[in-house]
Structure 1
Amino acid sequence: MRSRPSRAVEAQEAVKEIILGRGLAAGDPLPTESELMEELGISRNSVREALKALQAVGIVDIRHGFGMFVGRMSLAGLVDELTFHSRITLQDGRSHIAHLVEIREMLETGLVQKLIDLGSDADLSAAAEAMARMEEEAERGGVSPEIDRLFHDVLYRPLGNPLVSQLLGAFWDVYHQLRDQIGAPDETPADVARRHRDIYAAVTAGDKSAAIAAVHAHFEGVRNRVARLGSVG
């Protein structure tokens, strides 16, 4: 026999229905706690428990002193969970990091092809600027994680899909939080810059085969480092 959902769980669903039913968007104000208590007919504790749960997944944004608002989508919870489980698997010789790298590599392989399909409609000026900055850093002896992340972010921006940036950012955040376990890159800064340049050049040339090969080459160093982690375990 299925158990009845708790009042807090029912309240969570009711708040979601309020957001959807009223056509509210990210940043729009929500009813106050008291208004929700009256409208939903439940206790303050149940309302607060529901709001905290919705805040944890980014559906509700509670700003103390200002009120409650519809949250803006965030993958922070996903990042924390993936990072934690990746650390667990590192302890017994299995690595979720390898799976994450594989997924991101497949994602970017598809993205470069879609980017090429845009042709002249794709404004790659921001990617060109990021590429130039990366090469300047490489000449000075190091490529910063920030410019590496920026390049991938702005490269796919012409696709007009905000989820792409968020997903790539989530993968990056997990990888960055595990950087101490993964270790330093094997490639020289010049090699790192060159691999990114190869991706950019293939995209601007409209060469899908070269773009796919460049993406695979870009991730080769990461795959090798992660593979060594598994062999050590």
Structure 2
Amino acid sequence: MAENPPQDPGARSRRSRPLHVADAIKDWVVERGLQPGDRLPGEAELIDRFGMAKGTIREAMRLLQAQGLIETKTGPGGGSFVGEVTRERASALLGNYFYFRHVTIDDIYQVRIALEPLLAGSLAGRLSDAQLGELEAIMEAYAEPAADAEEERRQHVASLRFHARLSDFGGNALLGFFIGFMAQILTDLTVYKRLYTTPNHDLWEKGRQHQIDLIAALRSGDSARAKAVMRSHMEMARDLMEAQQAEVLKRFIAE
């Protein structure tokens, strides 16, 4: 059996140079306090500042552009500028990480049960009338029980939007991002796997009542009540999603 040729440590180093330069550029941007939209130095200045060849600088900039951290514009006034990674882009990149990993409904709800009651308790008494009104407006999408499976799915997606929007109101960007990310994963599961096949009036009524009770606790500033209601809501939602997933699997096997 032929031996594998020895790897060239220098080749590994050369391949990693653009990564190191990309990290150095990010550090420099942070140290300078640059904000999205601010212009970055031109290529010649970057070559001089970081002491790297033109090809290495260009590859580092391409890496940063692929990550959404810089934007390049052509024409008059063009150049490279600090970019802003949106929540949607960050969620898509993180979703790619989990694409080939087995993530179960229970995995998702372990995270939701841990985080969402915490968020709800922290927001009790802190939301404005406009914010509470926005949550109530979302609930209008499922003010009445669904008439068929398609409407059931639309209502569930709207209910998840309620939770994602609530996460936007928190002051903790990291907490809000992960709660919103979980809601997006469940939205995708609902749409792509078609988990909701028949309307369930009892579950609609209990789920909606949970959200009504949650808004009341948020409005009155009752943190303990907000936590308890959200936890109960999450536990019920987990049981529902697991049951729906099992039903879809059973039907698939039967077919």
Instruction: Quickly name the TM-score band, shorter chain normalised.
Output: 0.7 to 0.9
- CA distance 1:26–1:183, shift in 2 (3 Å): same
1:92 — aligned with what?
none
Deviation, structure 1 residue 150: 4.2
1:220 — aligned with what?
235
- CA distance 1:224–1:44, shift in 2 (3 Å): farther
The answer to whether 1:78 aligns with 2:94 is yes
2:222 — aligned with what?
207
What is the 5 A alignment of 1:144-159?
A: 144=155, 147-159=158-170
For residues 205 and 236 of structure 2, the distance between their equivalents in structure 1, rounded to whole angstroms, comes to 14
1:167 — aligned with what?
178
Mean Cα displacement is larger for which, 147-156 or 104-113?
147-156
TM-score, normalised to structure 1's length?
0.74
For residues 22 and 216 of structure 1, the distance between their equivalents in structure 2, rounded to whole angstroms, comes to 43
2:135/2:162 contact within 8 Å kept: yes
Match of 1:69 among 61, 81, 87: 81
The C-alpha deviation readout for 1:108-161, integer Å capped at 9, x for no partner, is 111111112xx3x43143222331442354327455466434433443555433
The answer to whether 1:48 aligns with 2:54 is no
2:71/2:81 contact within 8 Å kept: yes
The answer to whether 1:197 aligns with 2:212 is yes
Structure 2 residue identity aligned to 1:213: A
- CA distance 1:124–1:23, shift in 2 (3 Å): same
The answer to whether 1:177 aligns with 2:185 is no
For residues 63 and 53 of structure 1, the distance between their equivalents in structure 2, rounded to whole angstroms, comes to 16
- CA distance 1:45–1:4, shift in 2 (3 Å): closer
Identity of matched residues, %: 27
For residues 145 and 171 of structure 1, the distance between their equivalents in structure 2, rounded to whole angstroms, comes to 14
Match of 2:111 among 89, 103, 111: 103
1:26 — aligned with what?
36
- CA distance 1:77–1:135, shift in 2 (3 Å): same
Deviation, structure 1 residue 201: 1.7
Structure 2 residue identity aligned to 1:46: T
1:149/1:172 contact within 8 Å kept: yes
For residues 142 and 246 of structure 2, the distance between their equivalents in structure 1, rounded to whole angstroms, comes to 31
- CA distance 1:149–1:33, shift in 2 (3 Å): farther
For residues 124 and 146 of structure 1, the distance between their equivalents in structure 2, rounded to whole angstroms, comes to 24
- Which secondary structure state, in structure 2, belongs to the residue aligned with residue 42 of structure 1? coil
**Unaligned 5+ runs, structure 2:** 1-8, 251-255
- Which secondary structure state, in structure 1, belongs to the residue aligned with residue 229 of structure 2? helix
CA RMSD of aligned residues (A): 3.4
Structure 2 residue identity aligned to 1:218: H
For residues 154 and 175 of structure 1, the distance between their equivalents in structure 2, rounded to whole angstroms, comes to 15
The answer to whether 1:113 aligns with 2:121 is yes
Mean Cα displacement is larger for which, 70-79 or 181-190?
181-190
- Which secondary structure state, in structure 2, belongs to the residue aligned with residue 139 of structure 1? coil
The C-alpha deviation readout for 1:20-76, integer Å capped at 9, x for no partner, is 232212332222334323432323332232223223444333456543222324423
TM-score, normalised to structure 2's length?
0.69
Count residues with an aligned counterpart. Answer: 222
For residues 52 and 168 of structure 2, the distance between their equivalents in structure 1, rounded to whole angstroms, comes to 44
- CA distance 1:129–1:104, shift in 2 (3 Å): same
